[in-house]
Protein backbone atom coordinates (compact mmCIF):
# COMPACT_ATOMS: atom_id res chain seq x y z
CA UNK A 1 0.00 0.00 0.00
CA UNK A 2 1.05 3.61 -0.48
CA UNK A 3 0.15 4.96 2.95
CA UNK A 4 3.72 5.93 3.78
CA UNK A 5 4.08 8.22 0.78
CA UNK A 6 0.50 9.37 0.22
CA UNK A 7 -0.22 12.96 1.23
CA UNK A 8 -3.98 13.52 1.66
CA UNK A 9 -3.52 17.27 1.42
CA UNK A 10 -1.77 17.19 -1.93
CA UNK A 11 -3.53 18.52 -5.02
CA UNK A 12 -2.88 16.13 -7.88
CA UNK A 13 -4.17 17.07 -11.30
CA UNK A 14 -6.54 14.51 -12.82
CA UNK A 15 -5.13 13.03 -16.00
CA UNK A 16 -7.27 13.58 -19.05
CA UNK A 17 -8.19 10.58 -21.14
CA UNK A 18 -8.27 11.16 -24.88
CA UNK A 19 -11.65 12.47 -25.96
CA UNK A 20 -12.80 13.18 -22.39
CA UNK A 21 -13.06 16.82 -21.28
CA UNK A 22 -10.98 17.81 -18.28
CA UNK A 23 -12.95 18.12 -15.05
CA UNK A 24 -11.52 20.42 -12.46
CA UNK A 25 -10.49 18.59 -9.31
CA UNK A 26 -11.45 20.24 -6.04
CA UNK A 27 -8.66 21.75 -3.97
CA UNK A 28 -8.13 20.75 -0.36
CA UNK A 29 -9.54 24.06 0.89
CA UNK A 30 -12.72 23.59 -1.17
CA UNK A 31 -13.23 19.90 -0.36
CA UNK A 32 -15.48 18.44 2.28
CA UNK A 33 -13.38 18.82 5.46
CA UNK A 34 -11.21 15.81 6.30
CA UNK A 35 -13.50 13.25 4.62
CA UNK A 36 -12.09 10.27 2.73
CA UNK A 37 -14.27 8.36 0.26
CA UNK A 38 -13.89 4.57 0.09
CA UNK A 39 -15.04 2.90 -3.14
CA UNK A 40 -14.98 -0.92 -3.29
CA UNK A 41 -14.71 -2.12 -6.88
CA UNK A 42 -14.68 -5.37 -8.80
CA UNK A 43 -14.54 -5.30 -12.61
CA UNK A 44 -15.83 -1.71 -12.88
CA UNK A 45 -13.41 -0.46 -15.57
CA UNK A 46 -16.21 0.85 -17.80
CA UNK A 47 -17.69 3.19 -15.18
CA UNK A 48 -15.22 3.80 -12.35
CA UNK A 49 -13.40 6.71 -14.05
CA UNK A 50 -16.61 8.74 -14.16
CA UNK A 51 -17.37 7.86 -10.53
CA UNK A 52 -13.91 8.93 -9.35
CA UNK A 53 -13.92 12.09 -11.45
CA UNK A 54 -17.30 13.12 -10.02
CA UNK A 55 -16.18 12.43 -6.46
CA UNK A 56 -13.04 14.53 -6.90
CA UNK A 57 -15.20 17.57 -7.58
CA UNK A 58 -16.22 17.49 -3.90
CA UNK A 59 -13.69 15.33 -2.04
CA UNK A 60 -9.91 15.63 -2.03
CA UNK A 61 -9.22 11.94 -1.29
CA UNK A 62 -10.84 8.96 -3.02
CA UNK A 63 -9.62 5.45 -2.16
CA UNK A 64 -10.63 2.63 -4.52
CA UNK A 65 -10.14 -0.91 -3.24
CA UNK A 66 -9.67 -3.19 -6.24
CA UNK A 67 -11.14 -6.49 -5.10
CA UNK A 68 -9.27 -8.83 -7.43
CA UNK A 69 -10.62 -7.40 -10.68
CA UNK A 70 -9.80 -9.21 -13.91
CA UNK A 71 -10.18 -6.03 -15.99
CA UNK A 72 -8.37 -2.68 -15.91
CA UNK A 73 -10.34 -1.23 -12.98
CA UNK A 74 -7.22 -0.42 -10.96
CA UNK A 75 -5.40 1.36 -13.78
CA UNK A 76 -8.52 3.30 -14.80
CA UNK A 77 -9.28 4.42 -11.24
CA UNK A 78 -5.65 5.44 -10.66
CA UNK A 79 -5.56 7.43 -13.92
CA UNK A 80 -8.74 9.24 -12.85
CA UNK A 81 -7.03 10.41 -9.65
CA UNK A 82 -7.91 7.79 -7.02
CA UNK A 83 -5.58 6.06 -4.61
CA UNK A 84 -5.85 2.34 -5.42
CA UNK A 85 -5.44 -0.37 -2.78
CA UNK A 86 -5.42 -3.87 -4.33
CA UNK A 87 -6.68 -7.25 -3.20
CA UNK A 88 -4.79 -10.04 -4.98
CA UNK A 89 -8.00 -12.10 -5.22
CA UNK A 90 -11.72 -11.40 -5.03
CA UNK A 91 -12.66 -11.43 -1.33
CA UNK A 92 -16.07 -9.76 -1.52
CA UNK A 93 -17.44 -6.27 -1.01
CA UNK A 94 -17.38 -6.50 2.78
CA UNK A 95 -13.67 -7.29 2.73
CA UNK A 96 -13.03 -4.44 0.29
CA UNK A 97 -14.85 -2.00 2.56
CA UNK A 98 -12.90 -3.24 5.58
CA UNK A 99 -9.60 -2.69 3.72
CA UNK A 100 -10.68 0.76 2.54
CA UNK A 101 -11.88 1.90 5.95
CA UNK A 102 -8.63 0.80 7.59
CA UNK A 103 -6.63 2.62 4.90
CA UNK A 104 -8.67 5.80 5.36
CA UNK A 105 -8.16 5.66 9.13
CA UNK A 106 -4.40 5.28 8.62
CA UNK A 107 -4.40 8.86 7.34
CA UNK A 108 -4.12 11.02 10.49
CA UNK A 109 -6.24 13.85 9.07
CA UNK A 110 -9.27 11.65 8.41
CA UNK A 111 -12.31 12.66 10.46
CA UNK A 112 -15.06 11.12 8.31
CA UNK A 113 -15.18 8.03 6.09
CA UNK A 114 -17.70 7.92 3.24
CA UNK A 115 -18.58 4.60 1.59
CA UNK A 116 -19.66 4.94 -2.03
CA UNK A 117 -20.51 2.32 -4.69
CA UNK A 118 -18.41 2.01 -7.85
CA UNK A 119 -21.26 1.29 -10.27
CA UNK A 120 -22.48 4.88 -10.68
CA UNK A 121 -25.66 4.53 -8.61
CA UNK A 122 -24.78 7.17 -6.02
CA UNK A 123 -24.73 10.96 -6.34
CA UNK A 124 -21.75 12.95 -5.04
CA UNK A 125 -24.06 15.83 -4.00
CA UNK A 126 -25.85 13.42 -1.65
CA UNK A 127 -22.51 12.27 -0.20
CA UNK A 128 -21.40 15.83 0.41
CA UNK A 129 -24.73 16.78 2.01
CA UNK A 130 -24.48 13.75 4.31
CA UNK A 131 -21.03 14.77 5.55
CA UNK A 132 -22.25 18.32 6.13
CA UNK A 133 -25.20 16.93 8.08
CA UNK A 134 -22.85 14.85 10.23
CA UNK A 135 -20.67 17.89 10.92
CA UNK A 136 -23.44 20.39 11.65
CA UNK A 137 -25.55 18.00 13.78
CA UNK A 138 -22.55 16.37 15.49
CA UNK A 139 -23.61 12.90 14.33
CA UNK A 140 -21.46 9.80 14.40
CA UNK A 141 -23.28 8.13 11.50
CA UNK A 142 -25.41 9.29 8.57
CA UNK A 143 -27.02 6.61 6.40
CA UNK A 144 -28.44 7.16 2.93
CA UNK A 145 -32.07 6.19 2.38
CA UNK A 146 -33.85 5.89 -0.95
CA UNK A 147 -37.22 5.61 0.85
CA UNK A 148 -37.36 9.02 2.55
CA UNK A 149 -38.21 10.58 -0.81
CA UNK A 150 -41.45 9.17 -2.21
CA UNK A 151 -40.30 9.50 -5.80
CA UNK A 152 -40.95 5.89 -6.80
CA UNK A 153 -37.38 5.49 -8.02
CA UNK A 154 -36.91 1.97 -6.66
CA UNK A 155 -37.99 -0.93 -8.93
CA UNK A 156 -40.93 -2.87 -7.50
CA UNK A 157 -39.16 -6.22 -6.96
CA UNK A 158 -36.19 -4.56 -5.30
CA UNK A 159 -38.51 -2.47 -3.14
CA UNK A 160 -40.14 -5.64 -1.79
CA UNK A 161 -36.75 -7.20 -1.02
CA UNK A 162 -35.48 -4.07 0.69
CA UNK A 163 -38.65 -3.65 2.73
CA UNK A 164 -38.14 -7.19 4.02
CA UNK A 165 -34.54 -6.34 4.92
CA UNK A 166 -35.75 -3.26 6.82
CA UNK A 167 -38.20 -5.31 8.88
CA UNK A 168 -35.48 -7.86 9.64
CA UNK A 169 -33.06 -5.10 10.67
CA UNK A 170 -35.59 -3.40 12.92
CA UNK A 171 -36.34 -6.70 14.61
CA UNK A 172 -32.70 -7.70 15.13
CA UNK A 173 -31.08 -4.34 15.91
CA UNK A 174 -33.85 -2.05 17.14
CA UNK A 175 -32.80 0.63 14.64
CA UNK A 176 -35.86 2.37 13.17
CA UNK A 177 -34.47 2.72 9.66
CA UNK A 178 -36.22 3.02 6.31
CA UNK A 179 -33.38 1.57 4.20
CA UNK A 180 -31.18 -1.25 5.48
CA UNK A 181 -28.94 -1.95 2.47
CA UNK A 182 -27.75 1.36 1.07
CA UNK A 183 -24.04 1.56 0.26
CA UNK A 184 -23.85 5.34 0.76
CA UNK A 185 -22.81 6.00 4.37
CA UNK A 186 -20.88 8.54 6.41
CA UNK A 187 -19.00 7.32 9.47
CA UNK A 188 -17.29 9.69 11.86
CA UNK A 189 -13.84 8.48 12.84
CA UNK A 190 -14.93 6.95 16.15
CA UNK A 191 -17.73 5.01 14.44
CA UNK A 192 -15.45 3.88 11.60
CA UNK A 193 -12.92 2.59 14.13
CA UNK A 194 -15.63 0.47 15.77
CA UNK A 195 -16.67 -1.19 12.50
CA UNK A 196 -14.65 -4.37 12.00
CA UNK A 197 -16.26 -6.38 9.22
CA UNK A 198 -16.04 -10.16 9.43
CA UNK A 199 -18.66 -10.97 6.78
CA UNK A 200 -16.88 -10.46 3.49
CA UNK A 201 -19.86 -10.87 1.17
CA UNK A 202 -22.91 -8.67 0.62
CA UNK A 203 -24.23 -9.25 4.17
CA UNK A 204 -21.76 -6.66 5.47
CA UNK A 205 -24.50 -4.00 5.31
CA UNK A 206 -26.52 -5.70 8.05
CA UNK A 207 -23.33 -6.39 9.99
CA UNK A 208 -22.51 -2.66 10.00
CA UNK A 209 -25.98 -1.84 11.35
CA UNK A 210 -25.56 -4.44 14.10
CA UNK A 211 -22.34 -2.74 15.21
CA UNK A 212 -23.94 0.72 15.14
CA UNK A 213 -26.84 -0.48 17.28
CA UNK A 214 -24.61 -2.28 19.77
CA UNK A 215 -22.40 0.80 20.23
CA UNK A 216 -25.44 3.10 20.53
CA UNK A 217 -24.00 5.62 18.08
CA UNK A 218 -25.96 8.70 17.06
CA UNK A 219 -27.50 7.73 13.71
CA UNK A 220 -29.68 9.63 11.25
CA UNK A 221 -30.84 8.89 7.73
CA UNK A 222 -30.58 11.29 4.80
CA UNK A 223 -32.65 11.13 1.58
CA UNK A 224 -30.59 10.07 -1.44
CA UNK A 225 -31.19 9.36 -5.09
CA UNK A 226 -30.25 6.01 -6.61
CA UNK A 227 -29.54 5.90 -10.35
CA UNK A 228 -30.89 2.58 -11.59
CA UNK A 229 -29.19 2.00 -14.94
CA UNK A 230 -29.01 -1.21 -16.95
CA UNK A 231 -25.40 -1.53 -15.79
CA UNK A 232 -26.15 -1.09 -12.08
CA UNK A 233 -29.11 -3.48 -12.29
CA UNK A 234 -26.87 -6.13 -13.85
CA UNK A 235 -24.24 -5.61 -11.12
CA UNK A 236 -26.72 -5.52 -8.25
CA UNK A 237 -27.80 -8.30 -5.88
CA UNK A 238 -30.16 -10.96 -7.16
CA UNK A 239 -33.22 -11.73 -5.08
CA UNK A 240 -32.03 -15.20 -4.12
CA UNK A 241 -28.96 -13.66 -2.44
CA UNK A 242 -31.25 -12.57 0.39
CA UNK A 243 -31.17 -16.16 1.70
CA UNK A 244 -27.37 -16.15 1.63
CA UNK A 245 -27.33 -12.84 3.50
CA UNK A 246 -29.65 -14.16 6.21
CA UNK A 247 -27.51 -17.28 6.58
CA UNK A 248 -24.32 -15.22 6.95
CA UNK A 249 -25.99 -13.02 9.54
CA UNK A 250 -27.15 -16.04 11.53
CA UNK A 251 -23.61 -17.43 11.52
CA UNK A 252 -22.26 -14.05 12.62
CA UNK A 253 -24.68 -13.92 15.56
CA UNK A 254 -23.59 -17.40 16.67
CA UNK A 255 -19.95 -16.27 16.53
CA UNK A 256 -20.75 -13.11 18.51
CA UNK A 257 -22.47 -15.13 21.20
CA UNK A 258 -19.58 -17.60 21.47
Domain count along the chain: 1
Strand ranges, E, within the chain: 35-41, 61-67, 83-87, 112-115, 141-145, 185-188, 219-223
Confidence of residue 238 (pLDDT cuts 50, 70, 90): very low
Asked if the structure places residue 160 within a domain, the reply is yes
Q: What is the pLDDT of residue 180?
A: 77
Residue 241: is its pLDDT beyond 60? no
Domain enclosing residue 111, as ranges: 35-257
Average pLDDT, the chain: 80
C-alpha distances out from residue 15 to 46, 80, 254, Å: 17, 6, 48
Cβ-Cβ contacts under 8 Å for 135 (sequence gap 6 or more): 33, 112
Mean pLDDT to the nearest integer, 122-144? 97
Q: Is residue 16 part of a domain?
A: no
CATH number at residue 43: 3.90.550.10
Residue 147 included in any domain: yes
Q: Work out the average pLDDT over 163-184.
A: 73
Q: Is residue 238 part of a domain?
A: yes
Higher pLDDT, 161 or 136: 136
Distance CA 70, CA 178 (A): 35
> Domain for residue 24, yes or no?
no
Mean pLDDT (whole number) for 190-215: 86
Residue 13 is assigned to a structural domain of this protein? no
At 153, the pLDDT band (50, 70, 90 cuts) reads low
For residue 15, being part of any structural domain is answered with no
Amino acid sequence: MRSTSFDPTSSVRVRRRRGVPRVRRVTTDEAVPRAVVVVPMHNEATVVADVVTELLTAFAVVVCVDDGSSDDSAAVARAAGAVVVPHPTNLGQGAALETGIRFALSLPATEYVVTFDADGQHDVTDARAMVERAVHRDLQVVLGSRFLDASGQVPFARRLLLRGAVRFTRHTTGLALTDAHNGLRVLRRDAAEAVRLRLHGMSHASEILTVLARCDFSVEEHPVTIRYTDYSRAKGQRGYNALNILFDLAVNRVRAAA
